[in-house]
Amino acid sequence: MLTTIVIYSLLAVALIVSLMKSREKTLMAVKVALRVLKNSAISLIVILALVGLTLGVLSPQTISKILGKEAGIWGTLLATLIGAVTLIPSLIAFPLAGSLYRSGSTVATIAAFITSLTLVGLVTAPMEIKYLGKRFTLLRNLLSLFVALLLALIMGVIV
Amino acid sequence: MKKFIPLIVVGVLFIILAIWWPPKALASAEVTLDYLKEMILIMPPVFLLMGLLEVWIPKEKIQNWLGNSSGLKGGLLSVLLGTLPTGPVYVAFPLAAYLLEQGASVRNIILFLGSWAALKIPQMMLEIKFLGLKFAVVRFFLTLFFLLIVGQIMNLAFKKKREFL
């Protein structure tokens, strides 16, 4: 909700300023937007369908069960893996992480899960490759995977 | 035609699931539709903002703000841009590609994408609520620290050849 309000307010201000300055340029901007939309529409629908499939099959309850059972370092590794291959919106991910925490998962496991969920994206990789290239995508995701594990290790010690 | 292949693949996945495990397929379809609704609301304004950015902000400006010599200011600006409440990370890929094309440094793009994905303000509010202030604050700063390192490594990796596609 907040997201929507912020974006639309930003757009309203930008559009008004742009229209006041130049009609032609505003029209050009609309054309650019349409081009990007056309280029991304299919990838976006595919990603949304994959989010749906993931959450439908691997519901938050199922993930909670899987991660709740595995303790210690295996739990952390599994959490990193699940975070990397799934795409769960934060509106669901944080309550899920909270319930994991209450049911006895370690701080390291939760930190690993959140970090790899947000920074590593197998589902979004095709789209990332399309826009940023194979090398960029591969390197960024691999490094992020390491970051998830390192960050988990550190958070497990200090939090 | 080639770009329809992924669409066909997920379509087939849905059909297989529908035959094999109907309740799960139904749940998946519901989630997909839910997010589709949200996306339809968010995508057009984000892309329009991108269009306005492309038309109004000259390349040199972006190079100055986010380029290799932008220093600390460029880094801060990238994080700031990323943390604004503006939709899921896959929305950020086209924007990141555009900024790179305009001369933003790889390090700043990593900061931008990373904070967009992991350090969003609405997301942080949820995190504090469900995992506590201490967890959220420590994760925030550690993530930022590691993003800087990843950015530095990737900056080096792309130094010789600034080719992405």
Q: CA–CA separation, A71 vs A26, rounded Å?
A: 56
pLDDT of residue B42 exceeding 90, the answer is no
- Would you call B41 and A158 a contact, using CB atoms and an 8 Å cutoff? no
Using CB atoms, pick whichever of A7, A51, A150 lies closest to residue B46: A7
Rounded to two decimals, the pTM is 0.90
- Would you call B139 and A151 a contact, using CB atoms and an 8 Å cutoff? yes
B118 is a domain residue: yes
Supply φ then ψ for residue A99, to 5 degrees: -70, -35
Given pLDDT bands bounded at 50, 70 and 90, which one contains residue B155? very high
Q: CA–CA separation, B120 vs B88, rounded Å?
A: 10
Please give the residue of chain A at the shortest CA–CA distance from B127. A94
pLDDT of residue B147 exceeding 90, the answer is yes
Regarding whether B139 and B64 lie in a shared domain, the answer is yes
Question: Which of B4, B21, B35 is best to mutate for the A interface (most A CBs within 10 A)?
Answer: B35
| pLDDT value of residue A60 | 83
Full domain range(s) for residue B8: 1-43
Question: Which of B37, B142, B152, B159 is best to mutate for the A interface (most A CBs within 10 A)?
Answer: B142
B31 is a domain residue: yes
Regarding whether B29 and B64 lie in a shared domain, the answer is no
- Which range among A31-40, A112-121, B119-128, B155-164 shows the weakest confidence by mean pLDDT? B155-164
| pLDDT value of residue A44 | 87
pLDDT of residue B133 exceeding 90, the answer is yes
pLDDT of residue B154 exceeding 90, the answer is yes
| Structural domain total, chain B | 2
pLDDT of residue B162 exceeding 80, the answer is no
* Closest C-alpha among A81, A59, A82, A78 to residue A70: A78
User: Would an 8 Å CB–CB cutoff place A125 in contact with chain B?
Assistant: no
What mean pLDDT do residues A140-156 have? 97
User: Would an 8 Å CB–CB cutoff place A28 in contact with chain B?
Assistant: yes
What mean pLDDT do residues A126-142 have? 94
* Model ipTM value: 0.89
User: Would an 8 Å CB–CB cutoff place A122 in contact with chain B?
Assistant: no
Regarding whether B147 and B87 lie in a shared domain, the answer is yes
Percent of chain B topping pLDDT 70? 100
Given pLDDT bands bounded at 50, 70 and 90, which one contains residue A2? confident
B117 is a domain residue: yes
| pLDDT value of residue A33 | 93
User: Would an 8 Å CB–CB cutoff place A64 in contact with chain B?
Assistant: no
- CA distances to B100, B106, B155 from B113, rounded to whole Å, are 12, 10, 14
Using CB atoms, pick whichever of A25, A121, A130 lies closest to residue B55: A25
Q: Can you tell me whether residue B102 is helix, strand or coil?
A: coil
B146 is a domain residue: yes
| pLDDT value of residue B29 | 92
**More reliable by pLDDT, B143 or A61:** B143
B50 is a domain residue: no
Given pLDDT bands bounded at 50, 70 and 90, which one contains residue B140? very high
- Would you call B134 and A159 a contact, using CB atoms and an 8 Å cutoff? yes
| pLDDT value of residue A4 | 84
Regarding whether B65 and B23 lie in a shared domain, the answer is no
Contact B82, A119 (CB under 8 A): no
Given pLDDT bands bounded at 50, 70 and 90, which one contains residue B48? very high
Look over chain A and give the mean of its residue pLDDT values, rounded to a whole number. Answer: 91
pLDDT of residue A134 exceeding 90, the answer is yes
- Would you call A39 and B36 a contact, using CB atoms and an 8 Å cutoff? no
pLDDT of residue B119 exceeding 90, the answer is yes
Rounded to the nearest angstrom, the minimum Cα separation between B159 and chain A is 12
Residue A9 tokens read as 């307010």
- Which range among A30-44, A131-145, B126-140 shows the weakest confidence by mean pLDDT? A30-44
B51 is a domain residue: no
| pLDDT value of residue B118 | 95
Taking contacts as CB-CB distances below 8 angstroms, the residues of chain A near B13 are: 49, 53
Taking contacts as CB-CB distances below 8 angstroms, the residues of chain A near B27 are: 55-56, 59
* Closest C-alpha among B116, B121, B115 to residue B142: B115
B52 is a domain residue: no
Regarding whether B154 and B74 lie in a shared domain, the answer is yes
* Domain residue extents for chain A: 1-45, 58-158
Regarding whether B33 and B85 lie in a shared domain, the answer is no
Regarding whether B62 and B36 lie in a shared domain, the answer is no
Look over chain B and give the mean of its residue pLDDT values, rounded to a whole number. Answer: 91
Question: Which of B1, B93, B134, B159 is best to mutate for the A interface (most A CBs within 10 A)?
Answer: B93
What mean pLDDT do residues A5-33 have? 93
